Structure 1
Amino acid sequence: MGKKLELITQELQTFIEAQKIFFVATAMREGTVNLSPKGMDSFRILGPNRVMWLNLTGSGNETATHLLESDRITVMFCAFEGKPLILRLYGTAKTYHQRDAEWDEYISLFPNLEGARQLIDIQVNIVQTSCGMAVPFMDYNREREELNTWAKKKGVEGITEYWQQKNTKSFDGFETGIFN
């Protein structure tokens, strides 16, 4: 059954690297909780207590907003194939934008994905596993290409305009910090 660990073990790192989808949850002190599925080749393990995620352009920018007020974050992985397992990484996070020196330091860890918006640097405080026996088996087919196609078509100027229109305020009306 479930275990609480202080770090990401080699076995859990192997599990994470094999996953095609993960979920990110953040919340401010007041307002909505954001829980989003993430995919593509956008997650890296930098050490036993540090991970990084490349956040791509989307219809909202809730994670960045929430992290401005509260740096708490949870990342969850589920085994949809093979042995059942749910893995949660609890921690604190910092957001890096293209204007930040950290962006240049870490962006090369990821493939060149159109619409790359932020890097989320997570210090993992607790690693928790649970059984996952109720998670259904699901077959992976392929990555969706729509986001990359859309972002390529928009180009850098079009993406920046989209950010100005859709990504400067959260669902609850708070600043996201994308242009600060």
Structure 2
Amino acid sequence: MTVVARRQQADDVAEVLVTSEEIAAKVRELGARIAADYQGKDLVLVSILKGALPFLADLMRATQIPLALDFLEVSSYGAGTESTGAVRILKDLAHPIEGRHVLVVEDILDTGHTLSYVFDHLRAQRPESVRLCVLLDKPARRLIPIEIDYRGFEIPDKFVVGYGLDYAERYRNLPFVGVLKPEVYARGS
């Protein structure tokens, strides 16, 4: 991406909710807590693609203990800004998790539909434990109660982009979390 294209993406942002510096500090804090809690345990970080990928990459480097990685790709969004509520697994885990400690790494907890489905799916595979690390928590939209073990930031009920989160597959590479200008949605990208 050129500097001009990146500047255009940043110009589409109306408000920055979480800066890149705040994200980096929180990721270091979460990594230290996770390392302390899972020291000596067989830990698997399960990331939900695609949005959680930047968070996972930074979090695993900040978690200074041996760990394994696996991925789920799950969809509950169409092309718009609202979850459809219909959750589908597009890519399942590559390795067994039975008897292992699983920490789900997710970018955002919104209604709870997706994570409730994911947790049921993972628990059916009989891991030792399943816990949740989420970068962004949007409690105003919660429909299904979900326990968060490691929370980054609580945010207001706004559709956000950046640091892995997208609108129409764009804006994931912004280094912060922000809200787009209304005219971006009006033009459709």
Q: If the length of structure 2 is used for normalisation, what is the TM-score?
A: 0.24
Query: Greater share of helix residues, 1 or 2?
Result: 2
- Relative contact order: is structure 1 or structure 2 higher (C-alpha 8 Å, sep ≥ 6)? 1
Q: TM-score, normalised by structure 1?
A: 0.25
